[in-house]
Structure 1
Amino acid sequence: MGCVRISLGGAIRYILEKQRHTILGKEMQEVLIKGKDILPETAVRCLEVALMNAKCQTRGYILDGFPLTKQHVELLVEKGIIPFKLFELECDVTECTIRAMKDRSDLNRPYPLPDSPEAISYKNAIYQSEIMPVRQWYTEEHKNWMTLNAKSNKWLIWDRILNETAAVTKKIQNYIERKSFNKAASIADLCISPQE
């Protein structure tokens, strides 16, 4: 697809590594030196800066693993960051545990993860309680949430996401083209809320 994959942690690391001399970078360094956590508001500011990268602007981006809470959604909306499509990979705890046990033996893991069966079960319980309002908001407000079965093979998941993304991109291109010729253009599936 050529899109840039970006996570919230990646955005934070980007600021700390590439823009540590900026106001945002210095602010985060002070927080981390004190041993405190980066606040979600600050993390979303990092994401906003990372998304201004020329590659993200021209190729598009995949926001990996975010938003996870209603507060995250509110912060993204406040910054005007509205994903065109959100994909949730649905997987039961047993399958997640099996995959984590396989991944544990991978020597190329960039960061050690708390992936014991207990940790996975705990994380899943929190995820299920936090994601419900997020799913509901995006489904009702922008109709851009799509759930995929993560037990399907990778090719099938990739193909579905690619087709869905291509369809959304085509609708955006059609909208821009028609508006440039002062013609009526459909706003269906362009993340326009019912109120707008």
Structure 2
Amino acid sequence: MDSYVEIYNQLPTLGEAEAKFVDREATFSKLVPLLEKYDYNFGVCLVHAHCTLNPGEKMIATGHVSEPVDANTLAHHPVRWLDDGRPFEFTVEPTVSPPDDLITAFKALVGHIGVLGLYYSAGVRPSDDHLELEWTEGRKNITKIISKDANNPANIETAWLPGTKNPVTMSCVIYCNIAKPRPNGPLHAGTKGHQAAA
């Protein structure tokens, strides 16, 4: 079986993942009853990588920064999972993993898409006027809450709680630098949209 680092380094780029997620409304309508069954403790995320990991590293969030960390130096918990239940991002905050029956049902509904996963959303509820924006600086993925009015329409939505009053929309504001591609495509590089929102 592939190691975590190999799995993470083969994840699609933001642009690749976004291009594969078509027919969103139909997909969300299928997922609403499933997510509701689990009290919206889990939402849907667009699976993509923010950097290339070195051996022994994991993407671990501490506060509003997620970055590669030596997995043996910091206690961590899964926060995002592939459609087959394998975790691909972590946090220092306690979480709960999705039950096996949720993973099975989720995979049956969206596995053919290949770029959707689950994220731990317990305690996080949509806001009428704010969203979470993420961008990459070096190997760090940084998030910030901004007003929806300050969001650049070109930003790509990367996480949702479909069926709730207002879907959560975490938007990546990352530009791909094609001058430094990794083997399966370009990495996130710029922060232009964040600068405009700051």
TM-score (norm 2): 0.26
Instruction: Point out the structure with max Rg over C-alpha.
Output: 1
TM superposition score normalised by structure 1: 0.26
Structure whose residues are more often strand by fraction: 2
